[in-house]
Amino acid sequence: MDSFATNTAVFDSWLHRHYDYISDDIAIADLRDSHEGRGLLARNDIQKDTVLFRLSRDHILNIRTAALGKLKPGNQEVLETLNQWEALILCLAYEMMLGEESQWSSYLAVLPEKFNSLMFWSSEELEKLKPSNVLQRIGREQAEQMHSKLVPEYCLRLGSKKLVEYLTIDRFHKVASIIMSYSFDVDDPEDDPEDDPEDSEDQEEEVDELEQECIKYDGYLKSMVPLADILNSNTNLVNANLSYENDALVMTATKDIKKGEQIYNIYGELPNSEILRKYGYVELPASKYDFAELPVSVIKQTFVDNYLSSLDSKIRETLFDKTAELINDSDYLDESLEDLEEGIVLDSYEVFADADVLPELLLLIQILTTCYESFETDPKWAKKLARSRSELESFVNRCILKSYQLVEKNIITNRCVENLNKCVEGRIAQYGTAQNYEIPASYRDFDRTELASIVLRCEVNCLRNVLNNFPEKYERIDDSKLLKNVLKRKAEADAQKHKKQRT
Ligand SMILES: C[S@@+](CC[C@H](N)C(=O)[O-])C[C@H]1O[C@@H](n2cnc3c(N)ncnc32)[C@H](O)[C@@H]1O
C-alpha cells in the first residue's frame, strides 16, 4: 500500500469509529488516474433521497471544537472577535502543528500538500490568464495583511508561542487554501439571534462595520467537515447535498445514483475562472455557471472610437467620462431602480453562458447609444457639451428618461444592439489567440498554461453567446423616432437661433 492508500484506510476507519452513520453503499475512492485526488463512489445503486452519511457536530472542526479554542480560558471569546477566515486559519494551523496529538490527525493526513489554486501561481503563470478579471480577485495582499494581523499578536493572545513559529507566511497560504477549498459555512446552533446587532436598533449604531465582521454576529461557523469534503464537485453532475440538522450534518443523494458512479457535491454556482482560482481545477467542457466580464473600460473605448471622429480624442474621452458620471449620479435611475444599489455604471458586467444580458448593461448601452447618436448629429454641439456640465446634464437626463421608458418595455434600438455587439467584439479581441483554443474533450494532467487557456476560452464562449443568441424577448426598433424625441428641444432652440440670426 502506498502512503495515499494507507492514509485513506486510516481515515476511513477513523470515520467509521466516530460518525453516527455511514451507508455501506458508498466508499472513498482513489481517483488519481482521473486527476481528482480522492472522491466518493457508489458501491451499489443508490436511490434519490437516501442518506449517505450523518455526522454529529462534535466531529466537525471549528472554533467551538478545536484544541486552540480550549487551550486557555477566554480563547473562545478572543476567537469570536476575529472573522471566520482568521479564526479557522488559526484553529486548523494549530491542529496541524499538534500533528499526531490532534484529535483530527487521521483527517489532517488526507488534506492536500500541493495546490493548483491561483494563489500558488507565479506572476508569469498568472500572465496567461490575461485579460480575465479573475486576476483582480486573487487576494494575495489581503492574505498577507491577515497574516501580519494574526502573527504574532493573536497567536500570543491565544497562548501559543509555538504557533508564532509554525505559522510562517508559506504555511499560512497553505492553510488558507485548504480552508478555501475544503470548508463549509455551517449554521451555528449556539447563535443567539438576540445578540445580532442588526436586530437591535439601539445597538446598531454602536457597532461599527469592523465589529460586525466578527464571528459573534455571523450566525454561522466556517468549519472543516471530514468526509463531506471528500466529495468532488461538478456543476452539471451534482447528485448529493449536505444539510444541517440541529445536532448533525446529513449528506443525502439528490438523484438516483448508479453503482460505480461518482457522488458529486457542488461548491457553488461558480464559473471556471473561480473554480480555478479557489480550487485549482476546471470543469470540462465548461461550468454550468460560466460567465465572462465586460469591463466598462471596453465600453468607453467602443464609444470613444466609434463616434465623433472629427473631435480631438481628449475631448471624446472627457465627454464619455462626464456622460457616464451623470448616468451614475442620476436621481431618476436611483428612484426607478431601487433594487440596483450600485447603479448601472459598474466597473464590469457579468456576461453569462446561458442567460440574458444583464438589464443594467443593456440600459447603459441604450442610454449611451441615445446620447452618442444625438451627439453625432452635431459634433460642434457635442464639443460644447463636453465643456458645459449643466447643458450636458439636462440632455443626458432626457436620454436617460426616454431610454429607460423603452428598455422597461423590453424595447431597444437597432443601434443599441450594434453598439453592444461592438463592445463584446472589442472584449473578445482582447483574448488574442485564446479565442481559438480548442477545449480538450477529456481530463488529463493539464499544465497551468492549458488550465488558463480553458478558462479564457470558456469566457470567450460566453461573450460569443451574446453575439449569436441575443434574447428574443427584446423588440428592436429603428433609432430615428427616439432621437427625434430627445433632440426636440435642441431642434427648437436651433430654429430660434436661426430665426434670430435672420432677423
Ligand atoms: C473538497 S476537496 C475534494 C476532495 C479532494 N479530491 C481530495 O482528494 O481531497 C476539493 C478539491 O478536490 C479537487 N476536485 C474537486 N472537484 C474536482 C473535479 N470535478 N475535477 C478535478 N478535481 C476536483 C480539487 O483539487 C479541489 O481543490
Q: In 330-358, where does DSSP find H-type helix?
A: 331-336
Q: Ligand 1: which residue has its CA nearest to atom 26? A: 279
* Residue type present at position 294: L
Site residues for ligand 1, CB cut-off 6 Å: 35-39, 112, 181-182, 229-230, 232-234, 279-281
Ligand 1: which of 61, 279, 443 to mutate, most ligand atoms within 8 Å of CB? 279
Q: How far is the CA of 100 from the centre of ligand 1 (A)?
A: 25
Q: How far is the CA of 267 from the centre of ligand 1 (A)?
A: 10
The pLDDT of residue 193: 60
- Report the C-alpha gap between 79 and 95 in whole angstroms: 15
The pLDDT of residue 206: 45
- Report the C-alpha gap between 458 and 375 in whole angstroms: 37
* Residue type present at position 215: I
Give yes or no for a contact between 254 and 241, defined as CB atoms under 8 angstroms apart. Answer: yes
Q: How far is the CA of 35 from the centre of ligand 1 (A)?
A: 9
CA angle 203, 208, 211 (to 5 degrees): 95
Q: How far is the CA of 432 from the centre of ligand 1 (A)?
A: 30
Looking from the CA of residue 265, the nearest atom of ligand 1 is: 16
3-state secondary structure of 223: strand
DSSP state of 280: S
Q: How far is the CA of 412 from the centre of ligand 1 (A)?
A: 44
The pLDDT of residue 356: 79
Give yes or no for a contact between 399 and 488, defined as CB atoms under 8 angstroms apart. Answer: no
Looking from the CA of residue 117, the nearest atom of ligand 1 is: 27
What stretches of 98-239 adopt beta strand conformation (E)? 183-187, 220-224, 232-233
| Unique residue bearing C-alpha cell 436586530 | 199
Domains within the chain, CATH numbers bracketed: 1-58+228-279 (3.90.1410.10), 61-224 (3.90.1410.10), 292-502 (no CATH)
Q: Ligand 1: which residue has its CA nearest to atom 15? A: 232
* Residue type present at position 372: Y
- pLDDT tens string, the chain, 503 residues long: the values are 789 999 999 999 999 999 999 999 999 999 999 999 999 999 999 999 999 999 998 889 999 999 999 999 999 999 999 999 999 999 999 999 999 999 999 999 999 999 999 999 999 999 999 999 999 999 999 999 999 999 999 999 999 999 999 999 999 999 999 999 999 999 887 776 665 544 444 444 444 444 457 887 888 999 999 999 999 999 999 999 999 988 899 999 999 999 999 999 999 999 999 999 999 999 999 999 999 999 999 999 999 999 999 999 999 999 999 999 999 999 999 999 888 888 899 999 999 987 778 999 999 999 999 999 999 999 999 999 999 999 999 999 999 999 999 999 999 999 999 999 999 999 999 999 999 999 999 888 899 999 999 999 999 999 999 999 888 889 999 999 999 999 998 888 888 877 777 66
Looking from the CA of residue 38, the nearest atom of ligand 1 is: 8
- Report the C-alpha gap between 427 and 406 in whole angstroms: 26
The pLDDT of residue 236: 95
- Report the C-alpha gap between 95 and 70 in whole angstroms: 12
Q: How far is the CA of 194 from the centre of ligand 1 (A)?
A: 38
Looking from the CA of residue 279, the nearest atom of ligand 1 is: 27
* Residue type present at position 474: Y
Q: Ligand 1: which residue has its CA nearest to atom 17? A: 232
Looking from the CA of residue 234, the nearest atom of ligand 1 is: 19
Ligand 1: which of 233, 239, 278, 284 to mutate, most ligand atoms within 8 Å of CB? 233
- Report the C-alpha gap between 327 and 294 in whole angstroms: 18
Q: How far is the CA of 395 from the centre of ligand 1 (A)?
A: 54
CA-nearest of 303, 296, 298, 327 to 317 is 303
Q: Cell numbers of 62, please? A: 471549528
Q: Are strands 475-477 and 411-413 parallel, antiparallel or unpaired?
A: parallel
Q: How far is the CA of 2 from the centre of ligand 1 (A)?
A: 20
Q: Quote the ipTM score.
A: 1.00
Q: Ligand 1: which residue has its CA nearest to atom 27? A: 279
- Report the C-alpha gap between 6 and 15 in whole angstroms: 14
* Residue type present at position 457: R
DSSP state of 126: H
The pLDDT of residue 202: 44
